Structure 1
Amino acid sequence: MLCTQTLRIVLVVIILPKSVILLKNGLALTPPMGWMSWGYYMCGVKCDENPDKCLNENLILSVADTFYNEGYQEAGYEYIIIDDCWSEKERDLDGRLVPDKKRFPNGMKYIADYIHNRGLKFGMYTNIAAVTCMHYPGSKDYFDIDAQSFAEWGVDYLKVDGCFVKENDLNTGYIELGQELKKAGRPMVYSCSWPYYIQYIHNKKPDYSPIAKHCNMWRNYHDVVLTWPALKVIMKHYQNEYDTISPYHGPGHWNDPDMIIFGTGVLNENQSRVHLAVYLMLSAPILLSCDMNKITRYEKKLLQNLDLIAIGQDMLGVMAKPYQLEQSVTLWVKPHLPKKGDIFHSFSFAVVNLDDQQHLISIFPLAYGVNSTDGYSVMDVFANTFKNNITLKESFEVVVPPEDVILYTLFPL
């Protein structure tokens, strides 16, 4: 049944994040974009039994080639990140981590050089415990040695997990490892899982002040799994937690809702639009995890839609604010560049329908901080077309199909 709602709401002022003390290493000034092995390949060590899910050197080099040859690099995708299960089970006699000799025969420096020669960036994984989540060697008691190894190998991004770590060690370990990375002399995006383990393993409320001070980005919710219901839970979490986490979100310091699950065959086109649009409205990192050869033509079109990507890569880095319009319909509102006269922001409006029925929604932009007295030009981001101009006194109506999103950007006239 068609559901109709017309909104006439008092003016709501968009409040930008409050000032906090943040990590300032000059990195991740926009949310990182790239590819990460875990979500799809996971601990892909049984290469003889399951070659299609093998985490090895050939896989990583093939992702670099795809980014370089198929337009992903030009769209902003640059980080290629190896997750857990990349090493031998024992360190060498000098206490250094050793890449798996069979799956990574040329070592990590070789892979980093290959990636760098294509103008891309290389990422790796460790854990601040003695072992990783999959029981490979972790970095506890080796922070200095491991930081030096990562620097020597040419790592540009380090994901640091927190399995099997006591609460106090979480609160000190991430800081200590970050200090050793700084001493190693090679700038690396520092991706932490600190708040997730505080909240969901130790059942405490995370203190985001030290997290934002020491990390470029952080996981604060469960791993994504390859299902549409899992994505809906993640989106609802970020909607519910907006007031808590948005003040710490911005250039150089990002909330990370986990990976994009395109190329896995679990999403239809509507769901794919919702998945990517919400993450970009959040200014979230966009990290694919899939066999790049299985990305559909439509998914690739979305991933390389530069008008869409521009919303997530906006230099202001504002996390979109959610407004619950109906039980299953949320409006996400994001101010961003370009500005008119350094006063009037552009705005993007994403109307997300998670229901299995379509909804007719009327939006009155003035109610959400839109304030250019000369009006706005309205662009349909997915269609790459300009629809019309509107004044501050006008509303616009959208019909949102089931499990889909309508995304408009308003540019001040």
Structure 2
Amino acid sequence: MGTAALNDGVGKLPALGFNTWNLYQCNYTADVLLEQAQAIVDRGLLKAGYNYFMLDDCYSLKERDENGRIVEDPEKFPNGMKNFTESLAKLGFRAGIYSDAGYRTCGGYPGSYGNEAKDLETFAEWGFEYLKYDNCYIPFDNVTQENVYGRYERMAEAIRARAEETDSAPLQLALCEWGWQQPWRWAGRLGQSWRIGGDIRPWWSALSSIINQASFIAGATGFYARNDLDMLEVGNTGIGTPPGNLSYDEAKSHFTAWALLKSPLLIGSDMASASRETMEILGNEDILRINQDPHVGEAVAPFRWGHNADYTWDPDHPAEYWTGNSSYGVVFMVLNTFDEPRHMSFNLTESWAIRAGRLYSVYDLWTHTDNGTAYRNISLTLPPHGVAALLLNDAGPEPEAAEPYCAVWWQCSYPNVLVVDDDDGWHG
């Protein structure tokens, strides 16, 4: 597994920002969206790094003009799309837009199949730098004579060609393929991120299902190319049926998993009405710092599934113990996938990034506190659907009297090659 990522200076790190779809779907105007953008600024999230404003589906008329160009909806954008993106830029945002690799978008508006270069010219003239590219209304096979890779490649090649012709930075390309054809194996050749499944919903079973899928493909993420777990549903959302919005602990787990798995973090909920708790979650500088690490692009990955045997597919109880490296220390994420509190523990050396025989300082990425030192093991109690996120750094040798002599005792031996044996004591 892995990617052949585009190292073209665009999209090295995950995008942070806001996406219009889950909150508004097709029901918005430029004024409504700019009010949301202003709320993001006023609540401090732009300063925290959420600087992309993504305009999703339904922004255009249903048909192209006589020259074959997409036309912005004059009722939604009475002052034009260029005025809208300029207004976003004045607030400090970079603008992103949406299109589709088929004849029409998922909402039934003009898609870009057969018009890739023309639509890119339009998007650039309007002032957009980021393209979410969906997968609806695809032509018949005997028309394209291509699979999903080939249809996405058409847009990727058009982006490359336009960048070369105009001597400009290419648009960042986010593929919305839904995971049906394992985009983590190939999409990094074309764009900077790829969706791994269907649309997110703001309840725990939907989140745990996405985390379960991510458990098996975490290693596909790196600089310029990453799994996209879909939008952040932290706070008040515009979609869903009961049970509706997430609990506080579920929202923390949601944000932590998305951020440490290096997914793009595009908010899908209302920031104008967001609670203090929602802002604390989305604005967690310690977690964002890991997501935006300029020197380590890899995501955390499971080192033990926990409730299930390793590599068990279980949308209700995905992998619970995760680790990875960062510029700031070794990262651990522990998830309680159950509906009740649980006592959970792990051996430090289960993480590949930990040195055996050493003490480690423990920093809590949620309480933002130094919690002393640990060696060999860490134990904690988590609330239902809760999370722990820890950052460990080497603090010197562990105590000389530490027993057993090895954290992984069955691999331990004396110089004369006597080895610990569970049944007989020692053998050689």
> What's the TM-score, normalizing by structure 2?
0.81
Q: Is 1:119 paired with 2:92?
A: yes
Post-superposition CA distance 1:229-286 (Å, at most 9, x none):
21121111212x23xxx34311111110101112226011111111101111211111
* Number of the residue aligned with 1:324: 305
Deviation at 1:296, TM superposition (A): 1.3
Which has the higher mean CA deviation after the structures are superposed, 369-378 or 87-96? 369-378
Matches within 5 A, 1:4-403: 20-44=3-27, 55-165=28-138, 168-185=146-163, 186-194=169-177, 196=179, 199=180, 205-206=181-182, 208-239=184-215, 241-242=216-217, 246-264=218-236, 266-315=245-294, 316-322=296-302, 323-327=304-308, 328=317, 330-338=320-328, 346-369=329-352, 370-371=354-355, 374-391=358-375, 394-403=376-385
Change in CA separation of 1:237 and 1:43 when aligned onto 2, cut-off 3 Å? same
Deviation at 1:351, TM superposition (A): 1.1
Post-superposition CA distance 1:122-164 (Å, at most 9, x none):
0000011111111111111211110101111111110010112
Deviation at 1:297, TM superposition (A): 0.8
Distance 2:185 2:68 in 1: 33
Change in CA separation of 1:40 and 1:228 when aligned onto 2, cut-off 3 Å? farther
Distance 2:388 2:343 in 1: 11
Unaligned runs of 5+ in 1: 1-16, 45-54, 200-204, 339-345
Off by >4 Å, runs of 4+ in structure 1: none
Distance 2:93 2:100 in 1: 24
Distance 2:6 2:266 in 1: 21
Post-superposition CA distance 1:180-199 (Å, at most 9, x none):
22333343210012363xx2
* Number of the residue aligned with 1:49: none
The answer to whether the Cα contact below 8 Å between 1:226 and 1:264 also exists between their aligned partners in 2 is: no
The answer to whether the Cα contact below 8 Å between 2:344 and 2:379 also exists between their aligned partners in 1 is: yes
Distance 1:89 1:133 in 2: 12
Distance 1:143 1:30 in 2: 25
Distance 2:324 2:84 in 1: 38
Larger RCO (CA within 8 A; separation ≥ 6): 1
Distance 2:359 2:321 in 1: 20
Distance 1:161 1:172 in 2: 14
Post-superposition CA distance 1:206-230 (Å, at most 9, x none):
3645421111101121110232221
Deviation at 1:325, TM superposition (A): 1.2
Change in CA separation of 1:207 and 1:111 when aligned onto 2, cut-off 3 Å? closer
- Identity of counterpart residues, as a percentage? 27
Change in CA separation of 1:209 and 1:332 when aligned onto 2, cut-off 3 Å? closer
* Number of the residue aligned with 1:404: 386
SS at match of 1:218: strand
Change in CA separation of 1:364 and 1:247 when aligned onto 2, cut-off 3 Å? closer
Change in CA separation of 1:247 and 1:231 when aligned onto 2, cut-off 3 Å? closer
SS at match of 2:256: helix
Which has the higher mean CA deviation after the structures are superposed, 213-222 or 258-267? 258-267
The answer to whether the Cα contact below 8 Å between 1:130 and 1:138 also exists between their aligned partners in 2 is: yes
> What's the TM-score, normalizing by structure 1?
0.84
* Number of the residue aligned with 1:14: none
The answer to whether the Cα contact below 8 Å between 2:184 and 2:220 also exists between their aligned partners in 1 is: yes
The answer to whether the Cα contact below 8 Å between 2:5 and 2:223 also exists between their aligned partners in 1 is: no
